[in-house]
Amino acid sequence: MNKPLIEDELSLLTAWIDPASHPSIIELGCGAAHVSRKLLLSHPGCAVTALEVDERQHAKNLQNPAPGLRFVQAGAQAIPLADASFDAAIMLKSLHHVPLDLMDQALGQVHRVLRPGGLLYVSEPVFAGPLNEVMRLFHDEELVRAAAIAALSRAVASGAWDQVVEQHFEMPVHYRDFAEFEQRMIAVTFVDHRLDSQTLAKVRERFEPHMTPTGAYFMRPMRVNLLCRQG
């Protein structure tokens, strides 16, 4: 069965978490907080607290404020906020970036800051597909992605959470050229790739067959789990 194609994950997020009834939201591992910014534009009655552990990205976020958006430098494994403070939490491709031995602790922290009945939306890339084959040459995430899914399973098995729904979908990804891929995927601030010339050449060699006159197009397989915090 073909997986649904979702170009804008905000559409899925707001279909599962109604911002009107869940106006207080925390995003863990927000990066530049693109989705939270879009959420606040379409639902200005909400408030989002966005956590980012990377110091350089956090500094950039502070230079780009938005109404209803508060930035905090912290990781999901140590949330410096009060118990039962939020209606919903979102983790967009960020759980697998939590240190392996702290994933359970991170989900416990999210449970703590959510109110009973609060929702946790966890979006994770599936370790498969042509884009993954390019990425794994310099950033192999097979182990950490599997660990993230295992941590979610343990969280549900513990009785602290109920799983509401699980959804698999495809997300289109486009790069104008290899230079844009290198800027977006290799020159990131949260990890130091520093590819040597031989590895960079191999990455380019695997990337180039996907180029068309209008750029390189990929489909990234994704998995989303929506959990509900128990009392």
Q: What is the tens place of the pLDDT at every residue in 76-121?
A: 999 999 999 999 999 999 999 999 999 999 999 999 999 999 999 9
Query: Comparing 66 with 2, which gets the higher pLDDT?
Result: 66
pLDDT at 231: 80
Query: Comparing 159 with 190, which gets the higher pLDDT?
Result: 159
pLDDT of 2 above 90: no
pLDDT of 191 above 80: no
* Alpha helix positions (H), 87-177: 103-113, 130-135, 142-157
Q: What is the pLDDT of residues 43-85, one digit of tens each?
A: 999 999 999 999 999 999 999 999 999 999 999 999 999 999 9
Amino acid in the structure at residue 46: C
Average pLDDT along the chain? 95
pLDDT of 31 above 90: yes
pLDDT at 201: 96
Domain boundaries defined on the chain: 9-126+140-171+221-229
Give, rounded to a whole angstrom, the gap between the first and last alpha carbons of the chain: 37
Q: What share of the chain in percent tops pLDDT 70?
A: 97
pLDDT of 41 above 70: yes
- Which of 180-183's residues contact partners 24+ apart within 8 Å by CB, and which partners? 180/215, 181/134, 181/207, 181/216
Task: Output b/e per residue, 183-212; b: 16+ Cβ within 10 A.
Answer: eebbeeeeeeeebeeeebeebeeebeebee
pLDDT at 189: 61
Calpha distance 109→107 (Å, rounded): 5
Nearest to 155 by CA among 230, 79, 78: 230
pLDDT of 199 above 80: yes
pLDDT at 229: 98
Query: Are the C-beta atoms of residues 43 and 17 closer than 8 Å to each other?
Result: no
Token pair for 225: 């789990």
Q: Rounded to the nearest 5°, which phi and psi values hold at 171? A: -120, 125
pLDDT of 190 above 70: no
pLDDT at 187: 81
Tell me whether residue 148 is exposed, middle or buried, using C-beta atoms within 10 angstroms of its C-beta: 0 to 12, 13 to 18, 19 or more: buried
Q: What is the pLDDT of residues 139-164, one digit of tens each?
A: 999 999 999 999 999 999 999 999 99
pLDDT at 88: 98
Could you give the dihedral angle defined by the CA atoms of residues 136, 139, 143 and 149, in that order, rounded to the nearest 10 degrees?
A: -90
Architecture of domain 9-126+140-171+221-229: 3-Layer(aba) Sandwich (3.40)
Calpha distance 67→79 (Å, rounded): 22
